[in-house]
Structure 1
C-alpha cells in the first residue's frame, strides 16, 4: 500500500508590520530613550519564568510538515549577525485544536528586526540558507516542556510545505 504525499509551495513574503499582524509583531530598531508604545513588543510572560537565550540552529532546508504553538506565552525570535531567515506561521484561532490550512503563510525576515509571535500562533521554523544561524529566543523557561502543541500535516493530510 502506497501513500501519496503533496508538497505545497508557500511563497515567502518579505515581512512587514502590516502583513505579519495576524500572527504577531515585527520589531525594528528605535532610538534609545523612545517611550514605550504599540510598536514595542507586547509581551505575555506572566505564566512562568521568562527565559531569554541564544540557540544555534543548523541549516535544515525549507520544508516542513509539523507546526507548533504555545498557548501560555508570547515568543520572540531574532537572528544574530544580521542573517535573514524564513518562518512558516498560521493565526492562533485558540478555540481550535488544529491550524487552519488555508491560512498558513511564509515570511522572509531580514536580520535587522525580530518577531513577536502572539499567544497561540502556529509556527514552523526558523529556516534559512546559511550554514548556521544563532537566534535569540524569549519564551518561558518551561515552554518546550508544558506548552508545546504540534500538528503534523503529513500525518493528517499527507502534506508537506516548502517555502520558496
Structure 2
C-alpha cells in the first residue's frame, strides 16, 4: 500500500530587500569606495573557518520536500553567469525547531545579486530550470557536517512543494 502525497504550489515572487528581510538580506552591486554599512552583508562566520567556494548544481527543477537550516552561521548564495534562480525560505523559530508551514515563502533571485540567509533560516534550494548553474557559497568549512538540520515534509505531512513563476 503506497503513501499518497500532496503537491502544494508556491508562487515565487521577485526578491527585494523589503520582502526578504525576515529571512536574510539581498545584496546588490554598490559603487567601489562606498563605506561599510547596513546594506552590506551582515555576516556571522565566527564559529569556524569560513569557506567560500563555487558549487555546481545540475537539473534541480522546482520541486522539493526537504528544507534545511544552519544555526551556527549565516550563508551567502549567488549564481554566476547572471542566471536567475529560486529559493524557498521560512523564518527560524528556534523554539519550535521545525519550519512553520504558514510562513514558507518562495523567491526568484535575479542573477545580478546574492542573498545572505540569517542564522537558522530554513531554505530549500537553490532551484532552477537551467541544465546547470554554478553558485558561489559562503558558509563555514564544516557547515554541512555539524550544522545541517533537515526537515522532511514528505515524512511529516506527506507533502511536496513546487515553486511556480
Whether these two folds match at TM > 0.5 is yes
* Number of the residue aligned with 2:40: 40
* Number of the residue aligned with 2:27: 27
Instruction: Give the TM-score of the pair, scaled to structure 2.
Output: 0.98
**CA separation in 1, counterparts of 2:24 and 2:158?**
28
Unaligned runs of 5+ in 1: none
Residue 11 of structure 1 aligns to a residue whose secondary structure is strand
Instruction: Give the TM-score of the pair, scaled to structure 1.
Output: 0.99
Q: Is 1:112 the counterpart of 2:122 in the alignment?
A: no
Unaligned runs of 5+ in 2: none
Q: Is 1:138 the counterpart of 2:121 in the alignment?
A: no
Mapping 1:93-104, distance limit 5 Å:
93-104=93-104
Mapping 1:142-161, distance limit 5 Å:
142-161=142-161
Structure 1 residue 2: deviation in Å?
A: 3.3
Structure 1 residue 60: deviation in Å?
A: 1.8
Residue 154 of structure 1 aligns to a residue whose secondary structure is helix
Aligned CA-pair RMSD: 0.6
**CA separation in 1, counterparts of 2:160 and 2:5?**
8
Aligned residues: 164
**CA separation in 2, counterparts of 1:53 and 1:108?**
22
* Number of the residue aligned with 1:13: 13
* Number of the residue aligned with 1:83: 83
Q: Which stretch shows the higher mean deviation, 119-128 or 93-102?
A: 93-102
* Number of the residue aligned with 2:53: 53
Post-superposition Cα deviations, 1:106-162, rounded to whole Å, max 9, x if no partner, equal 000000000000000000000011110000000000000000000000000000000
**CA separation in 2, counterparts of 1:94 and 1:112?**
31
Structure 1 residue 3: deviation in Å?
A: 2.1
Structure 1 residue 95: deviation in Å?
A: 1.6
